[in-house]
Homo-oligomer: A and B are copies of this chain.
Amino acid sequence: MIAGVVVARNAREAVAKIREGNADLYEVRLDRFESFELAPLKPFADRLIITIRRAEEGGFRRIPEEERLELYRRAMTLKPRYVDVEARSEIAGEVMREARKRRVGVILSHHDFEGTPPFETLMEILQGMASMAPDVVKIVPTANSHLDNVRVLRLYEHAENLVAFCMGPLGRISRLFSALLAPFTYASLEKAVAPGQMSVEELRQLLVMLDGR
């Protein structure tokens, strides 16, 4: 499955993009919203990943943790398929508790915009995140060489419900590979939101060519 990343200023704009999109799921970046009337998103809830990305991990703007937590609470009333919260954020535990109460899935995420650590460090990150028992673990470092991708792909040998690939132009091969190994992977609806990100269209074409049928 492919999750299209929706970058919009409000729910109406997001819905317009979802209606035009050709993804399976849609990650809506509330950290990009300017107004927070969320009801228009309700009809798409079972295909939504709600993300309020903290600035330290690539968020569009700096949002105080208390405000972010409040936004997660409001977003969870939509009953989205998932909320995505960063494992290293103060509010991760609280967001997970609230999500469980409301039967909303949790993607626990970890982003590294600098590089890809040694495999042992990646495994420690994975185990630490898995111990919090989220529904999905998302680990996304940055590739500085093609070989960096191999270390990240090795994580699939140690976990189910894992989304792991490298950002950056040299990480595109593991983005493609994650479409084969992960429950879902991410692609842009329009221009790339993260370094090296492919569009949904590009990713689908690559998968068809790769399938060779």
Taking Cβ atoms with an 8 Å cutoff, the residues of A that contact B are: 146-147, 149-151, 153-154, 156-157, 169, 172-173, 176-177, 180-181, 196, 198, 202, 205-206, 209-212
Q: Which residues of B contact A181 (CB under 8 A)?
A: 146-147
A198 to B154, CA, bound (A): 25
Q: Which secondary structure dominates where chain A touches chain B?
A: helix
Q: Which of B198, B202, B212 contacts A198 (CB 8 A)?
A: B212
A41 to chain B, nearest CB (A): 30
CA distance A8 to B94 in the complex (A): 67
A198 to B150, CA, bound (A): 22
CB<8 Å pairs between A and B, sample of 8: A146-B180, A149-B177, A172-B212, A173-B176, A173-B177, A202-B209, A205-B209, A206-B206
Copies assembled: 2
Which residue of the partner chain B has the closest CB to A170? B180
Across the interface, do B150 and A157 meet the contact criterion of CB distance under 8 Å? Answer: yes
When the two chains form their complex, are residues A212 and B202 in contact, meaning their CB atoms are under 8 A apart? yes
Chain B residues with Cβ under 8 A from A151's Cβ?
Answer: 157
Q: Is the CB of A153 within 8 A of B156?
A: no
Q: Which of A172, A173, A177, A205 has the most CB of B within 10 A?
A: A173
Q: Name the one of B153, B173, B202 contacting A150, with C-beta atoms under 8 angstroms.
A: B153
CA distance A212 to B187 in the complex (A): 13
Query: Which residues of the other chain, B, contact A157 by a CB distance below 8 angstroms?
Result: 147, 150-151
Asked if residues A150 and B156 are in contact (CB atoms below 8 Å), the reply is yes
A144 to chain B, nearest CB (A): 14
Contact assessment for A206 and B210 in the assembled complex, using a CB-CB cutoff below 8 Å: yes
Nearest B residue to A192, CB-CB: B212
Find chain B residues with CB under 8 A from A150 CB.
150, 153-154, 156-157
Give Cα A145 to B90, complex, Å. Answer: 39
Closest-CB distance, A185 to chain B (whole angstroms): 13
CA distance A176 to B210 in the complex (A): 9
Cα separation A177 to B202 with both chains bound (whole Å): 17
